[in-house]
Amino acid sequence: MRIDIVTIFPAIFDALDVSLLGKARRNGIIDLRVKDLRDYTHDRHRTVDDTPYGGGAGMVMRPEPWGEALDDVLGDGDPLVVFPSPAGEVFSQRMARELSAERHIVFGCGRYEGIDQRVLDDTADRARVRLVSLGDYVVNGGEVAAMAMIEAIARLVPGVVGNPLSLVEESHEGGLLEYPSYTKPPVWRGREVPAVLLSGNHAAIARWRRERQLELTRRVRPDLLAGE
């Protein structure tokens, strides 16, 4: 999978060099390229923003550098362009699954009060465009949202996570929260590991874990049980 990111803060994405995703990049499974939007400006101050037409607080990202950056990264292979936005459809495990089947995703990370609307309209004339929100709260730009989405998507690409079974067992894929996990020692600060996990009775362990999942989900996230 190829992933391009357009941003005025490329250093934020240095964190994607580490861990499983870093390994997947070195192995060539994920081809991730970070582009500095300011490299597509032509003035001495590398300006990317300006005051909003119609007035109001804050600044808006000018369309010209965005046009040139997207011209550079879109290519001719039917990419999906994702603009992280508080006004987008809410990201989910289902969407991560869907996007993990894409060949090429471009993330356009806005800042300030957002990007001139004509950039989104122009891009939609040339590519598939989705506005996606990380959740119902406000952050200062698209970068942190793109990072979370990239990690959720890339780990579902075959070969990125070593043991594919660990993807099946975890939260949200099964529609339930995860059961609690324990490791050695068997007693720590007077707290014992539940005896059933040391019993060797695999049917009883599976039953106990399923009960913990259901009980936890009913208590913390009853909306997940209401059925999607």
- Of 79 and 110, nearer to ligand JQB (C-beta) is 110
- Of 79 and 84, nearer to ligand JQB (C-beta) is 84
143 in Cβ contact with 16 (< 8 Å): no
Neighbours of 162 (CB within 10 A): 9
Binding mask 118-137 for ligand JQB (x = CB under 6 A): ---------------xxx-x
Neighbours of 132 (CB within 10 A): 20
Site size toward ligand JQB, by CB under 6 A: 17
Among residues 24, 110, 116, 179, the one that binds ligand JQB under rule CB under 6 A: 110
Neighbours of 39 (CB within 10 A): 13
- Of 73 and 82, nearer to ligand JQB (C-beta) is 82
- Of 79 and 142, nearer to ligand JQB (C-beta) is 142
Among residues 22, 67, 86, 174, the one that binds ligand JQB under rule CB under 6 A: 86
Among residues 21, 37, 145, 176, the one that binds ligand JQB under rule CB under 6 A: 145
Query: At closest approach, how far in Å is the CB of 139 from ligand JQB?
Result: 4
Among residues 25, 142, 154, 176, the one that binds ligand JQB under rule CB under 6 A: 142
Neighbours of 15 (CB within 10 A): 12
Query: At closest approach, how far in Å is the CB of 169 from ligand JQB?
Result: 28
The residues, ordered by sequence, that sit 6+ positions from 207 with a Cβ below 8 Å of its Cβ are: none
- Of 132 and 177, nearer to ligand JQB (C-beta) is 132
- Of 134 and 150, nearer to ligand JQB (C-beta) is 134
* The pair of three-digit structure tokens given for residue 81, joined into one six-digit string: 């362009």
Distance from C-alpha of 30 to C-alpha of 27, rounded to nearest angstrom: 8
β-partners of residue 2 are 31, 104
Does 114 bind ligand JQB (CB under 6 A)? Our answer is: yes
* The pair of three-digit structure tokens given for residue 196, joined into one six-digit string: 């059933």
Does 150 bind ligand JQB (CB under 6 A)? Our answer is: no
Closest C-alpha among 205, 161, 198, 199 to residue 179: 205
Does 84 bind ligand JQB (CB under 6 A)? Our answer is: yes
Does 215 bind ligand JQB (CB under 6 A)? Our answer is: no
* Residue ranges of E strands in 47-159: 49-50, 60-61, 80-90, 104-108, 128-133
* The pair of three-digit structure tokens given for residue 19, joined into one six-digit string: 């861990």
Residue 214 host element (H or E): helix 202-220
- Of 137 and 226, nearer to ligand JQB (C-beta) is 137
Residues that bind ligand JQB (CB under 6 A): 84-86, 110-111, 113-114, 133-135, 137-142, 145
